[in-house]
Structure 1
Amino acid sequence: MVVTVAARETPPGECPQCWQHAHDRSIHRKLRPREDCPQCVDHMRNGHPFIVPKRESSWW
């Protein structure tokens, strides 16, 4: 399984791979029409490798 780091900073509580694949169009340009991205399919089947932790709330 290949884990990539997003080009832009991933917001707290988000998966870096999901964030990058949603916001970087160059990743899916090499795919033919109606072709699934193997990394996305693997990610959907096996889940998130890690989530960027949310910052602690400083409400009080």
Structure 2
Amino acid sequence: MAAKPAPPGECPQCWQHAHDKSAHRHLKWNEDCPQCVNHMVNGCPNITPKKKSRWF
């Protein structure tokens, strides 16, 4: 069963990998998901970064 669509402002890939068990089913028990590792290192390309706060 597929996960619900990602809510607005959320990365669709991160949402699917977090809520759909079939996203990582092809991996071995000690294998990292290359897509998840890429997101952890480089950030989510599907999300617009927030503006920096001007508060000091």
TM-score relative to the length of structure 2: 0.69
Aligned match for 1:38, one of 27, 34, 38: 34
Pick from 4, 14, 29: which aligns with 1:8? 4
Q: Which structure 1 residue ranges, 4+ long, deviate > 2 Å from structure 2?
A: none
RMSD of equivalent CA atoms: 2.1
Instruction: Tell me: higher relative CO, structure 1 or 2? Use CA pairs within 8 A at least 6 residues apart.
Output: 1
Aligned position for 2:15: 19
Amino acid at match of 1:27: A
- Over the matched positions of the two proteins, sequence identity in percent amounts to 70
The normalised TM-score by structure 1 is 0.66
* Contact persistence 1:28–1:37 (CA under 8 A): yes
